[in-house]
Structure 1
Amino acid sequence: MKLFLIVALFIYCVNGDEYISDGLQPLTDEIVNAINALNTTWKAGKSFGGSSSVEIDTLVPTQEKYSAKADFPMRKYGSFRLPVNFDSSRVWLNCTSIGKIYDQTKGYPSWIYTAVGTIADRLCIRHGIQIDVEATVKKMAEWNVGSNSYNNSANIGQAFQYWSKNGIFAVELTKESSCLPFSQKCQPNEIKITKYFKLKNECIDNETELMKSITLFGSVSAYMEVYSDFLNYRSGVYKRSSKNYLGVQNMKIIGWGTEKGVDYWLAAGSWGTQWGEEGFFRIQRQPQQFGAVPNPIATEFLPVNDVKDIHSYVHGQLFYLAK
């Protein structure tokens, strides 16, 4: 009886939904027990071995830092039948970047893994080009993404705006770079350009169109508000049970499904494989679960075969081919 009363103190109801107490700290036994006591659609655990400082520090604390201009057109796809369950990493097995989990606790922000990873997935699916995401992220980070940089944000929209204006290059690394800033003038013989692409970005404003985009082209980049309970996610279909807002995170949505009557999105995080379902998570397929954030962003590529007139580029445009 005493145990029941203690657990009950952690929980209260608002508008028919159950929430844990605001005072519970992430990745503690207390918050894990409170979440699991709700007997909801997912299970909590201490995914990061009890340390929460690094993970919380990787979140962007205010909406001001990630609000993007709504200048991407909305995309409407044609009508076709959608499956009940879809996992793009299983559909396109040769595109290994789709099912790869990266670890932003190395010091790189979530937007760079999400944006680079989404482009890598879609380049592979539509054009058969395999990108080394880790190498690309590392080079971009050395160029213009320090831990205190303006670019250390959750603003995938800002990244896609830049690439839609300047384009991207698929390149082969011929030797290690030792010169920054990186440019043709600085190191003309260290890379070999294989392809140049122009980008077309679009926002997606409903779940049916999002499913269609993933079915046709692969992963989609998305924003998500993070609350204290989410850090403790271990398995199942996540449904928010906390009001303690921590910040914003970017992730790739790679599919969807239904479990025990609950519809969900399948997403790839960037906190390593020790978190969640080996780095992946499933979140209830309802708009409010992502919070008050911009719409997911999809991108398509227009290959430009004649690259002889390309005279300048920066490291933020270079996507390194997998060896």
Structure 2
Amino acid sequence: MFKNFSQLKILFLLISSTIAIRIFDRDIIITDEIDAKYFTDDFIESLNARNDSTWTAGRNFDESTPLEHLRGLLGTNLWTKDYNTPYRIVDLQQNIPLPRSFDSRNHWPKCRSIGEIPNQGSCGSCWAVVAAQVLTDRYCIHANVQTTLSAEDLLECCVECAQSCKSGHMHKAWLYLQSNGTVTGGSYGSKLGCKPYSFSPCGYSGSLPKCQKNVLKPGCVRKCTVEGFKKPYDQDKHRTQGIFRVPPIPEAIQHEIYHGGPVQAGFYPSKDFYHYRGGVYQSTLNTTWGGHSVKIIGWGEENGIQYWLGVNSWGPEWGLGGLFKVKRGSNHLKIEEHVYGEKPDSLNEIDFQYYLSDEFINEINRHQSSWKAGRNFPPESSEEYLKGLMGTKLFDANDTTPYKSLPVGGDNLAEILAFLPESFDSRTKWPHCQTIGEIRDQGSCGSCWAFAATSVMADRICIKSGQTKNEELSAENLLSCCYQCGNGCRGGSLAESWRYYIKAGIVSGGGYHSEIGCRPYSIPQCSHYFSLFDNLPRCKGILPTPKCKKRCRSNYGKSFAQDKHYGSTYYRLQNNEALIRYEILTNGPVQTAFLIYHDFFSYKSGIYYTRNHRKVGGHSVKIIGWGEENGYPYWLCVNSWNSHWGDKGLFKIIRGYNHLGIESNVIAGEPLLN
């Protein structure tokens, strides 16, 4: 019958394939029969009848909705073996206390996109819809850019993300947003942006069109589809700064949302999730069809159960008007294991003047409870000038500055730290050292590093002398003659300033036109406080660094060499707020540096901390004390922007959380008295 073994083998394979296909078809039928029971009214009623239920079930999808469509709504591949995406580095000890409840919609009310409810239609594109939504929100939050980014462009053109409408990869989507970006584009039929979403909302009841089966992913078209859109496709791209995953720790996710905005999360919803109508969702089943992607915009607690507040992509008719709450803190259904977010790359799109506007100041005061903002700089102040005030390079991993040794005796140290006063002000302990409370003005020069260093040096000379030597040290001398310190008015180094103090010495010198000391400051004040100094020129850009002059002003009475003051040692302090307090209590004020964000320019009073505004640069100040106000622990600091800035030239900043690096960049030293 068969001429050779090969023919027999082919027949066997054909028969085997037919049997397999029939078995496979039968499995689908059996699976559908089993799954169908999870979408009946009886099953929904059984969910609500449970005594241990924390949520309410109801009909979100008509009974006639094919299971194939419901399965297709879960379109996120959460397989992680090929992940190389780094985790965001989050030090939970370095951040301010988080509120018990938080809703991004209330915190950033101008960003309407946060609360918009998308509808992915017949395509399993939740991974793309949510990624585009999160980046849209973050453009509004961080760049003050009101736009809508295109899920369609990401879905079409990220070939590595997805080959079809059945599923896609979140981490590959964020890689694509970093390297290629996405254009603008609104929802279906909106005609907004370059490339709106092409899948219409659908359903199996009501006025929505019937959902299509086996829809195909659109091919990549690298051009705008909205007629008359003004920007070319390539010029409309919006990208991220990078890509990271948020560590699977609830507090780390809260921190990211609180400071950065909504995040994208993937999880494995059970089949009962389709029926969610209210309450805090907790799965009652151990069955799922696959991974799903959603946006998390906040958190809270309901009836003693902690939850995440999420935005789904199944339209506003589903759940709580398109939103849902899911159990927080136990990685329920892996909801805390797959979390993404990143800041927009094109921060140059920000209108810098917005951060000096009354609108921005009012926004700060609406959302801050610990400090107040006000007008310190006119709204037309130049970006070059304000950025130029930030003139300090913070310590990095390569720094070799020695740390100060801990006090001898572990038990002794514990006793000392236990009895540190709750509040302290160096001005009160050493009242005859007038330099401690002096407010100086660096003018149009990024010399904060030199001002803070020489101010602390002068304070410590006075303190160590028993409050008998009360003399200002010259910021001008350090600024202009310490070549290894950095770039003068364009910025300098903390450690090099103190090394220079020990090796070369620093002469005395007061403020501009003060006629105090050997070398007073030569850069004039400028009027950045409206009409308070009408006789002074307006602050514009940063002035050149003064030339190094190794001679004292005329009629001073001492030579440059005779006027030198030297240090005996210098050191960094450990990132430990109790040890920093002990150092201030025993030896006097310390110098520190921290990162400045735009809202700091408008500080007026209270305990400062920032949440999410744009970073400007490193700044150096002097810490003279500490305390607590309205439950917030703080450092008391002296700035160098004149006494009309902030709280008469001073400010308070949150203590104990290394906020913006305030506790990990502390340096000081001891004077060598004549």
TM-score range, shorter chain: 0.7 to 0.9
| Cα separation, 2, equivalents of 1:212 and 1:236 | 24
Match of 1:48 in 2: 377
Which secondary structure state, in structure 1, belongs to the residue aligned with residue 372 of structure 2?
strand
Match of 1:28 in 2: 357
Which secondary structure state, in structure 2, belongs to the residue aligned with residue 290 of structure 1?
helix
Within 5 Å, which residues of 2 pair with 1:256-275?
256-275=626-645
| Cα separation, 2, equivalents of 1:292 and 1:237 | 13
Match of 2:403 in 1: 73
| Cα separation, 1, equivalents of 2:446 and 2:141 | 35
Structure 1 position 167, deviation (Å): 4.3
1:109 to 424, 447, 468: 447
Matched, 1:201 2:530: no
| Cα separation, 1, equivalents of 2:589 and 2:662 | 21
CA RMSD of aligned residues (A): 3.6
Amino acid aligned to 2:258: D
| Cα separation, 2, equivalents of 1:262 and 1:122 | 28
1:131 to 468, 471, 474: 471
Cα gap change, 1:188 to 1:266, in 2 (>3 Å):
closer
Relative to its length, the structure with more strand (as a share) is 1
Amino acid aligned to 2:456: T
Match of 1:182 in 2: 550
Within 5 Å, which residues of 2 pair with 1:136-155?
136-141=474-479, 143=481, 149-150=487-488, 152-155=490-493
Amino acid aligned to 2:368: N
Check whether the contact 2:482–2:497 (CA below 8 A) recurs between aligned residues: no
Check whether the contact 1:44–1:232 (CA below 8 A) recurs between aligned residues: yes
**CA offset digits 1:136-192 (Å, max 9, x no partner):** 2234445568xx94564142222112223344566996899xx964269xx996457
6-15 vs 268-277, greater mean Cα deviation: 6-15
Match of 2:671 in 1: 301
Match of 1:229 in 2: 599
| Cα separation, 2, equivalents of 1:84 and 1:43 | 23
What percent identity do the matched residue pairs reach?
26
| Cα separation, 2, equivalents of 1:83 and 1:76 | 19
Matched, 1:255 2:595: no
Check whether the contact 1:224–1:291 (CA below 8 A) recurs between aligned residues: yes
Check whether the contact 2:427–2:433 (CA below 8 A) recurs between aligned residues: yes
Unmatched segments (≥5 aa) in structure 1: 306-323
**CA offset digits 1:46-82 (Å, max 9, x no partner):** 2123344222222149x5x864723222332363221
Structure 1 position 295, deviation (Å): 2.6
Check whether the contact 2:501–2:565 (CA below 8 A) recurs between aligned residues: no
**CA offset digits 1:101-130 (Å, max 9, x no partner):** 111124351011100000011111111311
Match of 1:57 in 2: 388
Q: TM-score, normalised by structure 1?
A: 0.76
Cα gap change, 1:238 to 1:170, in 2 (>3 Å):
closer
**CA offset digits 1:2-34 (Å, max 9, x no partner):** xx8984437698545356997573221122122
Which secondary structure state, in structure 2, belongs to the residue aligned with residue 129 of structure 1?
coil
Matched, 1:161 2:499: yes
2:660 to 290, 298, 310: 290
| Cα separation, 2, equivalents of 1:7 and 1:189 | 62
Check whether the contact 2:598–2:615 (CA below 8 A) recurs between aligned residues: yes
Check whether the contact 2:391–2:449 (CA below 8 A) recurs between aligned residues: no
Match of 2:608 in 1: 238
Equivalent residue pairs, number: 291
Which secondary structure state, in structure 2, belongs to the residue aligned with residue 193 of structure 1?
coil
Amino acid aligned to 1:126: K
Matched, 1:121 2:473: no
66-75 vs 46-55, greater mean Cα deviation: 66-75
78-87 vs 151-160, greater mean Cα deviation: 151-160
| Cα separation, 1, equivalents of 2:658 and 2:493 | 19
**4+ residue runs over 6 A deviation:** 10-13, 19-22
**CA offset digits 1:73-108 (Å, max 9, x no partner):** 233236322111111112211111111111112435
Cα gap change, 1:30 to 1:70, in 2 (>3 Å):
farther
Match of 2:258 in 1: 17
Cα gap change, 1:246 to 1:293, in 2 (>3 Å):
farther
Which secondary structure state, in structure 1, belongs to the residue aligned with residue 443 of structure 2?
helix
Unmatched segments (≥5 aa) in structure 2: 1-105, 112-139, 143-253, 262-342, 510-515, 521-546
Check whether the contact 2:508–2:517 (CA below 8 A) recurs between aligned residues: no
**CA offset digits 1:260-294 (Å, max 9, x no partner):** 11100010011111211011110001344133985
Amino acid aligned to 1:302: L
Amino acid aligned to 2:472: D
Match of 1:309 in 2: none
| Cα separation, 2, equivalents of 1:292 and 1:119 | 19
Which secondary structure state, in structure 1, belongs to the residue aligned with residue 437 of structure 2?
coil
Match of 1:312 in 2: none
Which secondary structure state, in structure 2, belongs to the residue aligned with residue 116 of structure 1?
helix
Check whether the contact 2:453–2:591 (CA below 8 A) recurs between aligned residues: yes
**CA offset digits 1:178-233 (Å, max 9, x no partner):** x964269xx99645726754421111111111101111111100011001111111
| Cα separation, 1, equivalents of 2:455 and 2:369 | 31
1:277 to 640, 647, 650: 647
Which secondary structure state, in structure 2, belongs to the residue aligned with residue 286 of structure 1?
coil
Of structures 1 and 2, the one with the larger relative CO (CA 8 A, separation 6+) is 1
